[in-house]
A and B are shown apart, each in its own frame.
Chain A
Amino acid sequence: MTTLTLKLQPKAPLEGEAITPDNFLGKPAAAIAGLPAMHGNEPALLGDFFQVDGDGSEEIVLVGDLRRVKSIAAGMTRGTVIIQGDAGMHLGAGMRGGEIKVYGNAGDWTGAELAGGKIYIRGNAGHGLGGAYRGSRRGMNRGLIIVDGNAGNEVGAVMRRGVIAVAGNAGDFTGAFMIAGSLIVFGQMGIRAGAGLLRGSIVSLKPAELLPTYRYACTCRPDFLNLIYQKLKREGMSIPDGCATGAYKRYSGDFNRSGKGEILIYDQR
């Protein structure tokens, strides 16, 4: 296990891309402290800001208020990153494998364009969770993201594959322009969920205001949801009673795209 404890709060954003298990593997603490990290426009070293202890194994523990540290574990392919505190923007963006656990909040674009692996956020997530960068054709493209708290706007925007589950509320444009994949919100979704949805499923346990391009299709009990809930339970998420076996109202849309997508709203009755 390698532990990085924040000893000096960066004044400007610190680019933390170097903090990945791939990079740390087999390196002694001194070598890790010598890895580069841009502090604003100045080249700096991880050791300038972090107290580094450990043996260069696949497991990294980060401790401190890391809201100014961007792109932690971005692009990682293996191992585990545990964050005791809040993480900055782009946490695990473009990650391909391994696992990230945040015991705090995560910033905007967490898990953006994720291509594999798992991210578990115990607190809240910012905007663009599992989403796409501006101009990108695709957001998250495999993997699993779980948020115990709330998430911001554009959760799973342009998502292509994978599962995102938010226990709290989600902001506006949840699953906007989503291509495929599954997105589950236990709380309330903001306005315009599923705008431009091509295929894929958006599930909400609370009533939602839908766009005029959605049509009620039927009320059903989809089996696949049960499987997803079981999987989420195994990952440590608590699933509200009844939702695994209950009925859902299926709305198909978005008819401005193919109309092959669906929004499933839990039928409270």
Chain B
Amino acid sequence: MQFDNVVCAFCGCDCDDISVTVENGRITQARNACVLGKTWFLSHSAPAHLPVARIEGKTASLEQGIEAAARYLAQSRYPLIYGLSSTSCEAQRKSVELAEVLGGCIDCCTSVCHGPSGMALQGVGEPTCTLGEVKNRADLVIYWGSNPAESHPRHMTRYAVTPKGMFVPEGRKGRTVVLVDVRRTPSARTADIFLQIRPGKDFEALWALQALANGRELDKAGAAEIGLTLEQLNDLADRMMHCKFGVLFVGQGLTQTRGKHFNTSAAFLLVRALNRHAKFALMPMRGHGNVAGVDNVLAWQTGYPFGVNFSMGYPRFNPGEYTVVDVLSRGEADAALIVASDPAASLPGKAARRLAEIPTITLDAHESETTKIAKVAFATATAGIHAEGTVYRMDNIPIRLRKVLPSNYPSDEEVLSLLLARVKELKAC
């Protein structure tokens, strides 16, 4: 059986033009998808052999799992809910409600990838656009600290570089593509201009470009510090100021290096300065399929995009205080609920070790480092393959996921609803 226009929810591109072939209850083909997307469709549709719930590694029923998990959470004084970037907005909503009922912290992968963008946004505002505008208008496309050829393989071909747009009828020929990074990545092949800056000089480079956009002059020494020549900087600034519609895509190379939210602030301020000369926009290259969704759901429910704490009964926001790495490495969290994420493998050592010390509960379609150390592990259906749901693309456009396969497993949303109901009962008495 074939399903057309299926959404791949693996990366922030959320391509919605995939043709999926299902044979004998498995996905055998995912046409149009990139390597990452194909792997995602094929591996997630493989029959899972995990029991629906496990308590300390032993098989349990869903009800037993819910009871155990709800007790751990309800007893906790400083519970943490984390992950959420690869699940549906519906499940994210339930998680926010759960965090509120528990009086805990809720944080998502944003805090370890593009959180700094969110903070910069609050500081200086976000001049942004949709990928549709990029496709139809952009004649200057800049990737900064991002390697889309490997992290978002279809970003260039579907949205930003090759497609023919309304005001860019020639497609690729009508656009100038610039890549700025600290090392030459496979994406450099597609770029017209590749600028290699010195590691840790992103802020200085963006700052210098802003100075040029503000009509200031720079000296050679300043440019050399950054790892570029003054001509290169002037040329880039010139292109930026004289394009018709420019877009700056910023990746984790910018947000996760020394300076973090200030680096992104510098990018935002540069784009703001450029808007005096040309139409210019900025967009963070969001990694996971629905990480933009968590920011949206958290923001419309609590007012803040990540790192939210409910201890006092109302939402408080403070990155560095309520964010996952801090809450875990300071040993404050005394229970954790991890939804569709593998922090035991990805967080720094001290934070990951804390997860093994406290009751950790996981919701995941697959076995991971975190499910191995979990006190209670639920196996759930994958949103976009076994379950419907909504996701937000990296440009904050909501997209509806389809269900292409039946599943014996409950969705994240269903497990979270049951958990929420039981926690409410326990907290009431």
Footprint of B on A, CB under 8 Å?
A: 11-13, 15, 38-42, 68, 89, 108-109, 127-128, 133-135, 172-173, 176, 191-192, 195-196, 211-213, 255-256
Report the number of A-B residue pairs with Cβ-Cβ less than 8 Å. 91
A12 engages B334 (CB within 8 Å): yes
B318 engages A133 (CB within 8 Å): yes
B78 engages A12 (CB within 8 Å): yes
B214 engages A195 (CB within 8 Å): no
B259 engages A192 (CB within 8 Å): yes
A172 engages B311 (CB within 8 Å): no
B258 engages A191 (CB within 8 Å): yes
The 6 A-B pairs of least Cβ separation, nearest first, read: A41-B103, A212-B222, A40-B77, A12-B78, A135-B122, A40-B78
Q: Is B150 at the interface (CB under 8 A from chain A)?
A: no
A213 engages B208 (CB within 8 Å): yes
Contact of B269 among A12, A15, A256 (CB under 8 A): A256
Chain A residues near B312: list those with CB within 8 A.
Answer: 15, 38
Q: Quote the shortest CB–CB distance from A226 to chain B (angstroms).
A: 32
Cα of A12 to Cα of B312 in the assembled complex, Å = 13
A39 engages B77 (CB within 8 Å): yes
Return 19 A-B CB contacts under 8 Å, by A number: A11-B77, A11-B78, A11-B334, A12-B311, A13-B311, A40-B76, A40-B311, A41-B77, A134-B122, A134-B123, A135-B122, A135-B123, A173-B262, A191-B200, A192-B259, A212-B208, A213-B208, A255-B216, A256-B216
Chain B residues near A108: list those with CB within 8 A.
Answer: 320-321
B319 engages A134 (CB within 8 Å): yes
Interface size range of chain B in the complex = 35 or more
Cα of A172 to Cα of B320 in the assembled complex, Å = 15
Contact of B207 among A109, A135, A212 (CB under 8 A): A212
Chain B residues near A41: list those with CB within 8 A.
Answer: 76-79, 102-104, 310-311
Q: A11-B77, A13-B332, A41-B311 are in contact. Are A134 and B119 (CB under 8 A)?
A: yes
Chain B residues near A15: list those with CB within 8 A.
Answer: 311-312
Chain A residues near B318: list those with CB within 8 A.
Answer: 133-134
B321 engages A38 (CB within 8 Å): no
Q: A127-B320, A191-B258, A212-B225 are in contact. Are A13 and B78 (CB under 8 A)?
A: yes
